Each structure stands twice: as structure tokens, then as C-alpha cells.
Homo-oligomer: A and B are copies of this chain.
């Protein structure tokens, strides 16, 4: 068989040949921009030429700080096709992390939305390796750029040669892009994507046993293009010839509903918060939508939200799970053909899991170094392996903490049922290990927060002389409500066995939180580590 490489050029060429007339719609500050794949392809080539003319050398990293729009989509292709690495920068990073990732990746050029230039102001002088900024916008004021020289994207495109020749034989292991993921402590960690990995990830998105994306779809990626390549959807949509709708800067739920209605969107993807917001609009003023799939990931969707879409709006709602290290698609909570006749309750249960492993990947459930049974009850850490799974962090000493024996240790604690459905129950660092048994802190927290008097609850494992660790609960009551420890334990006892019960429940005025609002369980563990052993 021929040794033709699996690279982005193959997907781009195919798309340009087969779908020159397909549409790309982009919401912008000044209304909508619409063009066809043919024009998209020409501008992709011009962008590559323009970057080459700026002196960009093969293999160098080029950063983007941009919302989901057509210019960002052009960069998604132009940069890897010319043999460079697309670094999509999370514009919500704190300033010191923003500086770190641009510096660590060694970005030579930055493509920045005009409205996002202020993000560079505090760090502009600390990025000497950035040789140029290209400002994305219709008529940008280049003097506003904290880094110079600055160029207007449209001016560069207009002057550039559309005739650049891409290398059809780009090796499939060549790097294509890099994304950084937040670490529990310290600086973000970089994950380098290869052409091969992205290519195979794309095919996974196109399979019926997957996302089933095709040229019959209209795709609206709400998930930002600075988050793990918007879950692979922009590359896949172009490859499969789907109509693409890009929501532009900071879309409101109403903007999204309007776009979905006007463009007859069939597939959209975003985090639970997005779908909560959209649900509020649809509940107030229902509109007919063409959605065949709402893809929800990033964190677990509440079962009530899934029900609202499936039963209330008759819009199929599909959970997916993955991480920066997995390009990101790892599991999709689709209903197997063999299970479609199950009772509605079973189906709802399956849809609330993280779902089935994507064909192409391999998984293990690891507990104390051994494979745990897939019985839907035994907890273990989820390990992943496959051609779109990272095998290291880019130039980072923390690599050995997350990779072992050729597997990625996700840090997620899960159960897997006999049909292969993965359900996340905790983070590895938070699960409570009591006398050889594991207790999900997240399950206990959710149960506590379901009590009418409880505003917030956190559960951590603390050292225990007999059981190694035991759960300790922290509760913040709602204003004006009261609840005794015994009442809360009785409440928990309805759902979980005796040995899951926290050894103590402490009432706090607030739970310590990280800068992004997550519970800072480490602080609680540190402060209360002697609570059960003293």
C-alpha cells in the first residue's frame, strides 16, 4: 500500500475540490460576513504567503488571540498547511500565564483581534521573540498595538500571493498546533498536536459511531476556537464540507438562538453554561430549530439540563468528554444501536454518562496499578491511549506525572459499565481512599447540595489512623436556613452506604475557591489534615 501521509493538506485539498461552493457564515462586530469555501481557500493561501513574506521559518509557532470567526478559521489552516504550528491562546488566561504561554511556545508572530489588543498591553515588552503582530479586523488602528511592528490582516492578505504551493507530502508526525492546559499548580502545560493525530481525530468526528458530522450538517461551534481547537470541529467541518457558522466575539444566548434559527444549524457544541443560557431563551420564546445534536462538554451537564433539551425541546443532547491532551474527543454519550430499545429511563441514564470511547482509542480503568472491572461500580483512574492522545507536555518537566507505560493518566476517576459507558465520578486528587475502598467526593457534594438548606458543600479526604483516609464535609448553609449535622447525614444515608458517610460535617461561612471559582480543596485538606487523627 502507498505511504501517503495523513496530513491536513489531504483534508484541505479534498475540501477545496469537493465543496468549493459551501458557505461559511461569521458573526462580527459589524454584522455578518458570508463567503464560500473557494474564497476561504484562496485567503488561506494568501495568509500563508503573507506569513512567509514576513520571514516566518518552517516549524515556527504562530499565536492567535481571537474569537470564533472566519479570519481565525483561515489561520487554523494557513499556519499548519505551510508547515508551521498554530498556537491558539486562551484569551481568558491571567496575565502572567498569557505571557508564559506566548514565551514558552516561542511564538514568532501573533494574530490578534483588534478588540483584544489590550490584553497584550501589560506584557508587550516582555515578548522580545515576537517579531510581528497581525491585527484582525476590518480597519484596525495599528498604533493601538502594544507590540510593533503591527500589520493589518486584510492589507497583508490583499497583497499576498494566492499561488503558494503546499507540500502534499508533509510528514504525518509533523507538529500542527499547540494548546496549553491549566495545571493544578504552576504554569499551563503545552500539548503539541500532530497532523496524524488531528487527521484521525477528524475521521472519528465523521463516523456515525461518533459525531456523524457530514456535508449535510450546518455546524455552529460555540466552544471557543482557543479551547482545544474548538473540539476539532472547525477542521472537521471543512474536511467534510459542512456549512460553518461562527458566532464571533462574546455571543449572548440570544445571538446563538438567532444564528441557529437563521442558518438552520444542525449541530452545535459548547459547555453546559452555554446550553443553560440557550434553554432559558427557548423556554421563554420557543423557536423551531433544525438541531440534530447539541454537543456538550467541558464539564458534566446536570441531568435536568439533558432532560430539558431531550424531552422539553426534542433536541438530542449529547455529552462528550475529553481534554487538551486528547485533541480532545475521547468519549461521546451516544446510544449504541444495540441499546435503542431500552426503556427511556435507561437511555436517559446512558446519556448522563461521559459515554463510549471513540473508535481509535484504547482505555483502561486503573486502581492500585491493576485493571479494575468494568462493572459500572468499581472506581478507577481513567487511562487513555491512541493516536490523538499526547505522550508528553511540550518541553515540560511535569511530563512523568501524567504519562506511564505509554498511557495518559487522565487524573479522572471513573466507573465503566459492561457496555463500555464511562462515568466520571471524581478527580484523582479528590477521591477519598478509605480502607481500600474509594468514595467519590463529588457524589457526596452533589447529594449535600441537593438538601434544601445547603448552599455549598465540599468533601475532602483527610488522614485517619485506621482507614488511611475518611471523608470530611464542609457545608455553607443558605441565608436564614439551618440544618444539624445529624439531619444532613440522614439525608446522605438515603443515597449512599454507611461507610461513605463523612466522619464529620463542619459548617463554614464560605468554601475557599480558586481564581476561576472552583473549590480550593487543597486548602481544606491542609487546614484540616489533623481533624480525624488528633
Interface residue ranges, A against B (CB under 8 Å): 1-4, 6, 10-11, 13-14, 17-19, 21-22, 168, 173, 192-194, 196-197, 200, 203, 206-210, 212-217, 239-242, 327, 336-338, 340, 356-357, 359-360, 362, 374, 385-391, 406, 408, 419-420
- Whether A212 and B208, one on each chain, are in contact in the complex, defined by CB atoms closer than 8 angstroms, is yes
Q: Looking at the complex, which one of B1, B210, B242, B357 makes contact with A196 (CB distance below 8 Å)?
A: B1
Whether the pair B209, A215 counts as a contact (CB closer than 8 A) is yes
**Known contacts A1-B194, A203-B203, A209-B241: A215-B338 contact under CB 8 Å:** yes
- Contact indicator A387/B338 (Cβ below 8 Å): no
When C-beta atoms are compared, the residue in chain B nearest to A416 turns out to be: B17
Residues on the B chain within 8 Å of A242, using CB: 337
Min distance, Cβ A212 to any Cβ of chain B, angstroms: 5
Q: Which interface residue of A21, A213, A338 has the most chain B CB atoms within 10 A?
A: A338
Instruction: Tell which of A21, A387, A389, A419 has the most Cβ of chain B within 10 Å.
Output: A387
Would B209 and A391 count as touching, CB distance under 8 A?
A: no
Interface residues of A, dominant DSSP: loop
A172 CB → nearest B CB, Å: 10
Given A208-B214, A362-B13: A1 and B391 interface contact (C-beta under 8 Å): yes
Known: A359-B240, A390-B1, A391-B2. A207 touches B214 (CB 8 A): yes
Complex CA distance for A197 and B4, rounded to whole angstroms: 10
Which residue of chain B is the closest to A176 with respect to CB atoms?
B1
Interchain nearest-CB distance for A217 vs B (Å): 7
Given contacts A336-B215, A420-B18, contact A387 B240 (CB under 8 A): no
B208–A208 touching, CB < 8 Å:
yes
Residue of B nearest to A169 (CB): B406
B216 touches A208 (CB 8 A): yes
A64 to chain B, nearest CB (A): 21
Measured CA separation A446–B208 after assembly (Å) = 39
Tell whether, in the assembled complex, residue B420 and residue A2 are in contact, meaning their CB atoms are under 8 Å apart.
no
Given contacts A209-B241, A337-B214, contact A386 B4 (CB under 8 A): yes
A420–B337 Cα gap in the complex (Å)?
32
Structural contact, A10 and B360, CB atoms closer than 8 A: yes
Q: Which residues of B contact A391 (CB under 8 A)?
A: 1-3
Q: Is the CB of B337 within 8 A of A217?
A: yes
Q: Which residue of B lies closest to A384 (CB)?
A: B2
Contact of A206 among B19, B200, B207, B239 (CB under 8 A): B207
Task: State the 5 A-B residue pairs at the shortest beta-carbon distance, nearest first.
Answer: A216-B337, A208-B214, A1-B197, A215-B337, A206-B207
Q: Which of A21, A22, A362, A385 has the most CB of B within 10 A?
A: A362
Q: Please measure, in the bound complex, the distance between the C-alpha atom of A66 and the C-alpha atom of B45, giving whole angstroms.
A: 52
Contacts of A21 in B (CB 8 A): 338
Determine the residue in chain B with the shortest Cβ distance to A210.
Answer: B206
Q: Knowing A359-B240, A362-B4, say if A208 contacts B213 (CB, 8 Å).
A: yes
Q: A386-B4, A387-B1 are in contact. Are A14 and B336 (CB under 8 A)?
A: no
17 A-B pairs in the complex with CB atoms less than 8 angstroms apart:
A1-B327, A1-B387, A1-B388, A1-B389, A1-B390, A2-B387, A2-B391, A3-B387, A11-B359, A17-B374, A19-B336, A21-B338, A203-B360, A206-B359, A208-B214, A216-B340, A241-B338
Evaluate contact between B197 and A18: CB separation under 8 angstroms.
no
Complex: chain B residue closest to A406, CB-CB = B2
The reply to whether A1 and B193 contact each other, CB–CB distance below 8 Å, is yes
Tell me, rounded to whole Å, the shortest Cβ–Cβ distance linking A108 to chain B: 23
Q: A203-B203, A338-B19 are in contact. Are A385 and B2 (CB under 8 A)?
A: yes
Evaluate contact between B203 and A207: CB separation under 8 angstroms.
yes
> Are B337 and A239 in contact (CB-based, < 8 A)?
no
* A10-B18 Cα distance, complex, nearest whole Å: 31
Which of chain B's residues have a CB closer than 8 A to the CB of A385?
2, 4
How distant is the Cα of A359 from the Cα of B4 in the complex, in angstroms? Answer: 13
**Complex Cα gap A1–B6 (Å):** 14
Q: From residue A52, how far is it (CB to closest CB) to chain B in Å? A: 24
Instruction: Give chain B nearest CB distance to A324 CB in angstroms.
Output: 12
